[in-house]
Amino acid sequence: MEAYLDNSATTPPCPEAIAAMREALTTVWGNPSSLHWAGLNAERLLAQSRESLAELFGCEPAEVTFTSGGTESNNLAIFGAANALRRRGRRVVTSAVEHSSIAESVKELASRGFEVVYLSVDRGGRVSEQELMQAINAETILVSLMAVNNEVGSLQPVEVIRRVVQYHRAPALIHCDAVQAFGKLPMQPARLGVDLMTVSSHKIHGPKGAGALYVRRGVKLNPLVYGGSQENRLRPGTEGMPAIAGFSAAVRALPNPMAIMDYVSSLRDRLVAGAASMEGVKLNSPPDALPYLTNLSVPGLQSETMLNFLSERGICVSSGSACAKGKKSRVLRAMGLGDADIAGALRISLSRFTTWEEIDAFLYALNEARLTLARK
């Protein structure tokens, strides 16, 4: 049987998203900036899409900027904030376990003369509040921390950053990469105390090619590209309406995250219990990780070999971030795992559509892999 357990890489689009995209391609295909009726219809659709996101964020529609996806939102947040605040200070604080679109962006900032401080993580992949307290100083202009880690599912203490920044009287903007948390936890930027927040469409059963950046009212970012006045001049270019319409339809189709948490938790418990009963399988995710994400290792086996083995049996999982394309995980390294555990890591990621049968099919195949594949 087929089992798709790589939902942190991407999710299959839901029917609502597909219908909305079809409509945006067949009926409402105008340019939202045009003055005629075709443009007006598209502009209404765009406004409606923005409202859907604003409602979920508990913010004003004007605080939602549509982008091409998580990577662009993260780049816009990092470079937009650093360039806007470069005269107020040089320090940027982030963690050692961010997604590559943050890690590579701050690396570029470092080469442009910013001082980048990386927060270490514990065995559970979590940064400590004490270290956060020490890392942030009065010269800090940006703090970027993910809500949920994309490889192991650990939750980060995003909500404490605001107090730390205020304590140090830092001019810092606070950014949260909420790509993996969005739709799975209540993510309201005002409650979290963040100024900028990244979300992506295709991780919540929307289409690829759309994402958004929440930008708190009053926060000034420098754009990355220049052009027309779309998206409040922050992200010029004709809006990618089919993807945006699909994105917002997927947002409207989201159930209350807490209402489905029990179901996903029970799936995860079965997965973890099954894996734990197999000799030689090691759990890498902390017990309090988001139930959607589980990372485990079979030391002695290579991730790639297991992926091929599972794929032949119709089962899709990954070795870590899809964006790293098989490179050894720096997240697991930062968590202090050994080489064999890192080389044999698997990430199993669930969605609200995942079934018991899929979990069982995975466990069955994992056991087969463990028993039959040759070890190093």
Partner 1 sequence: MNEVLLIKSGELALKGQNRSGFEQQLIGTLRRRLRPLGEWQFILAQSTIQAIPLSAGMDMEEAARRAGRVFGISAYARAARVPKDIRAILEGCAEYLAPVLRYAQTFKVEAKRSDKTFPLKSPQICETAGGYLLERFPHLRVDVHRPEVTVMVEVREQFAFLHADQVKGAGGLPTGSAGDAAVLISGGIDSPAAAWMMARRGLRLTAVHFASPPYTSARAEEKVHKLLRQVAKYSGRVRLHVVGFTKIQEEIRQKCPEELFTLVMRRFMMRIAEQIARENNCHALITGEQLGQVASQTLQALVCTDAATGLPVFRPLIGMDKEDTVRLARQIGTYEISILPFEDCCTVFTPRHPRTRPKLHFVEQAEAALDADELIREALENTQSHWIE
Catalytic residues: 323
CB-CB neighbours of 360 under 10 Å: 15
**CA atoms 68, 73, 74, 80: torsion sign:** positive
Q: Which of 331, 125, 101, 91 is nearest to 213 (CA)?
A: 101
Q: How far is the CB of 322 from partner 1 (least distance, A)?
A: 13
* 306 lines the binding site for partner 1 (CB under 8 A): yes
In eight-state DSSP terms, residue 12 is P
Binding piece for partner 1, criterion CB under 8 A, among 26-34, 177-185, 197-205, 368-376: 368-376
Using the contact rule CB under 8 A, the part of the chain among 63-71, 85-93, 120-128, 367-375 near partner 1 is 367-375
Task: Report, in Å, the least distance between residue 331 CB and partner 1.
Answer: 19
**Contact between 309 and partner 1 (CB under 8 A)?**
yes
Does residue number 27 form part of the binding site for partner 1 (CB under 8 A)?
no
Figure out which of the listed residues 308, 314, 353, 355 binds partner 1, where binding follows CB under 8 A. Answer: 308
Residue 327 Cβ vs partner 1, minimum distance, rounded to whole Å: 8
100 belongs to the binding site for partner 1 (CB under 8 A): no
Of 35, 169, 217, 374, which one interacts with partner 1 (CB under 8 A)?
374
Identity of the residue, 334 or 343, whose beta carbon is nearer to partner 1 in the bound complex: 343
Minimum gap (Å) between residue 321 Cβ and partner 1: 14
Nearer to partner 1, 58 or 326 (CB): 326
Which residue stretch of 5-13, 104-112, 120-128, 298-306 sits at the interface with partner 1 (rule: CB under 8 A)?
A: 298-306
Which among 27-35, 100-108, 138-146, 306-314 is the span making contact with partner 1, rule CB under 8 A? 306-314
Piece of the chain touching partner 1 by CB under 8 A; list 77-85, 204-212, 247-255, 300-308 = 300-308
Q: How many CB atoms lie within 10 A of CB 78?
A: 29
Helices 15-26 and 241-252: angle between axes, nearest 10 degrees: 150
Nearer to partner 1 among residue 53 and residue 307 (C-beta)? 307
Query: Quick one: tokens of 60?
Result: 């004003």
Among 219, 302, 360, 364, binds partner 1 (CB under 8 A): 302
Give the interface size with partner 1 as a residue count (CB under 8 A): 15
Residues 230 and 237: beta-carbon distance below 8 Å: yes
Question: Does 340 help bind partner 1 (rule: CB under 8 A)?
Answer: no
Return the structure tokens found at 4.
């798709």
368 CB-near residues (< 8 Å, 6+ apart):
309
364 binds partner 1 (CB under 8 A): no
Here the tokens at position 364 are 């069955």
The helix (H) or strand (E) run that includes residue 213 is strand 211-215
Residues near 60 by Cβ (< 8 Å), separated by ≥ 6? 54, 217
State the minimum distance, in angstroms, from the CB of residue 86 to partner 1.
Answer: 36
CB of 9 to partner 1, least distance (A): 15
Please report the DSSP string for 31-82 in residue order: -TT-SSHHHHHHHHHHHHHHHHHHHHHTS-GGGEEEESSHHHHHHHHHHHHH
- Which residues are within 8 A (CB) of 162 and not within 5 positions of it... i.e. 6 or more apart? 174, 192, 193, 194
Chain positions contacting partner 1, by CB under 8 A: 302, 304-309, 311-312, 325-326, 373-376
